[in-house]
A and B are shown apart, each in its own frame.
Chain A
Amino acid sequence: MATVTKVGTKVRVSEEERFRAQFYLLLSRLLGAAADHDLLNVIKGLEVDDTSIGQELTRLKTLAENTSVEVVSEEYNKLFIGVTQGELIPFKSYYLTGFLNEKPLAELRDDMQKLGIAKSDQVAEPEDHIAFLFEMMHGLIVGSFGRPSTIPEQNRFFENHIACWAPKFFENLEMAEAARFFVPVGRIGKLFMEVESEAFLIAA
């Protein structure tokens, strides 16, 4: 069962599950738009340890301290926007089929409907963008869409929509020609996906 407990009408999400949720949101912010001053400041203030992820976070912090919003934005554009398109196309459908808006997106939309998740009508982008999927994982964990999802529910969403392509995407991100600031982001993402897979296995 879940990681949450009802306290009155409020649902409490345990500390380690909140760590996961925040980590998803942090990566979502990094991947969904070029970092602004606020985000760079958040990166600089990260609390890190000597785990594999912590070491990559330390690299990211150092890069954040020695760059600017302009430089990071230029890198983001090269990676994800480009003149005609960026170096990477961070969508599930693209990774699984070679095209945008194919069946993997339809499957995601079905699940979103079942889970009561709708995208804002201001969002024109397909829902299977990595940043959007990570934001959804955050929402499932903390209960942004009604109630926090159980671990098995989270696991199903993760397996069906993220684990099948995100590790490959993060590898590509790490190796991307334009990647500087995003090299550790790629490594962090890949390591985090491993942590998530392992944690779901332990829970099963």
Chain B
Amino acid sequence: MSTKKSGSPSRRDFIKTAGIGVGVAAVTSGVLSASEATATPSLKNGETTGYQETEHVRKYYESAQF
């Protein structure tokens, strides 16, 4: 099976030598959970793990005087 390489070769080489290939495939999910919403943008995705309302959030809202 051939994978078409459509990015420019120099871009590929540049990225490959930039030191970011760190073998972190184990990090599989983010913390803030941007969810897919292909049809309805405001749709909630039942499978999202979510990032609960943390102290973080409350503080920022406080500092924004919400």
Contact = CB atoms under 8 A, between A and B. Distances in A.
Do A and B pair up? The answer is: yes
Interface of A: 1-5, 7, 12, 14-17, 19-20, 22-23, 25-26, 28-29, 32-33, 39, 42, 45-49, 51-54, 57, 80-82, 84-86, 89, 91, 99-101, 112-113, 116-126, 129, 131-132, 134-136, 138-139, 144-146, 151, 192, 195, 198-199, 202-203
A202 B54 contact: no
Contacts of B54: 33, 125
Interface string B27-44: 101111111111001111
B24 to A, nearest CB: 5
Contacts, number: 208
Contact of A53 (B20, B29, B35, B42): B20
Contact of A26 (B22, B45, B52, B59): B22
Contacts of B23: 45-47
Nearest to B28: A25
A3 B6 contact: yes
Contact of A57 (B3, B7, B22, B53): B22
Contact of A28 (B6, B19, B32): B32
B30 A29 contact: yes
A101 B64 contact: yes
Given A80-B56, A132-B32, 16 more contacts: A16-B16, A33-B56, A42-B27, A57-B22, A85-B62, A101-B64, A118-B35, A118-B45, A123-B50, A124-B61, A125-B51, A125-B54, A129-B32, A139-B34, A199-B14, A199-B18
A85 B52 contact: no
A51 B25 CA distance: 20
A22 B52 CA distance: 23
12 contacts: A1-B6, A32-B51, A42-B26, A45-B26, A52-B19, A57-B22, A84-B62, A100-B60, A100-B63, A100-B64, A119-B33, A151-B11
B15 A123 contact: no
Given A33-B51, A135-B30, A145-B34, A118 B15 contact: no
A85 B59 contact: yes
B18 A53 contact: yes
A82 B24 CA distance: 30
A56 B41 CA distance: 38
Contacts of B31: 28-29, 32-33, 131, 135
